[in-house]
Every structure is written in C-alpha cells, then in structure tokens.
Structure 1
C-alpha cells in the first residue's frame, strides 16, 4: 500500500506481488483487489503480509 494520494477523493495505489493492482479508496477496496488477484485469505487490516507505507490500514486522508 502506497501513501495516500492527495486527490478528490483521496486514494492509495495498491501493488500486489510487485504489480500495480489499482486504486483503493477504503479498506474494502484493498480486500477486493486482493480477492481479484487470487489472495482471498488476506485480511488487509490484520495480516502482516500487507505493507502499509505512510500510515496504517485506517489512514485514508493526507
């Protein structure tokens, strides 16, 4: 998870396995992008395999 991008609305760019997967505007978007990538068992707010840069799972504003 990249840092929050100051846009309207703010978002985070999501990379999965070094490939850009899309934009996330909330935690549910992160979970959906993981699911689409075949990572259905990941819980983005508790799983240590998710790296949050520039904040934690609940940081969505700049």
Structure 2
C-alpha cells in the first residue's frame, strides 16, 4: 500500500529556542530537525521519502518555511 495515498499530514513546528524544529505526523513525533536536510532524512526514515519537502501540500510549515532555521545564523567573530 502506498503511504502517499493515505495523505499523511506532516507538521514542521515553529523553531524552538535552539532553532530546532519538531516534525510530527498526527500525534506522533517523527524527529527533531536542525536543518532542511534533517527533515528530508526524518521523512525517509518514516518511509515518506517521496514527499517533496519544500513544495508538498502534505507538509505544514509553522513559524516559517523550509528556508527558516534561526539556529543556523552566522557567528559574528570579532
């Protein structure tokens, strides 16, 4: 059975204080992402690797889109 025919609802939650974002499917936490590549890997491990992470309607991005990772700011070295 194809997982995509069930139309999973994936949520990438708003960034936490450390910049990480929780990834859930329904009430189940799939993982914690610190970068877009982490979201891709979390979905691959959940057998949802055919989902286009940046363009899919199956993914709800809360608190910013796939390009928003506040923990990945450049460090200002004096």
**TM-score category, normalised to shorter length:** 0.7 to 0.9
Distance change in 2, residues 1:11/1:55 (3 Å):
same
- Indicate the RMSD between aligned Cα atoms, in angstroms: 1.3
Higher helix share: 2
1:6 aligns with 2:14: no
Aligned twin of 1:18: 27
Matched residue SS, 1:4: coil
Greater Rg over alpha carbons, structure: 2
Give runs of ≥4 in structure 1 deviating > 3 Å: none
Point out which structure has higher relative CO (alpha carbons under 8 A, 6+ apart): 1
Instruction: Give structure 1 stretches of 5+ with no counterpart.
Output: none
TM-score, scaled relative to structure 2: 0.70
In structure 2, stretches of 5+ residues that fail to align are: 1-11, 72-78
Secondary structure at the aligned position of 2:38 is classed as helix
1:29 Cα deviation (Å)?
A: 0.4
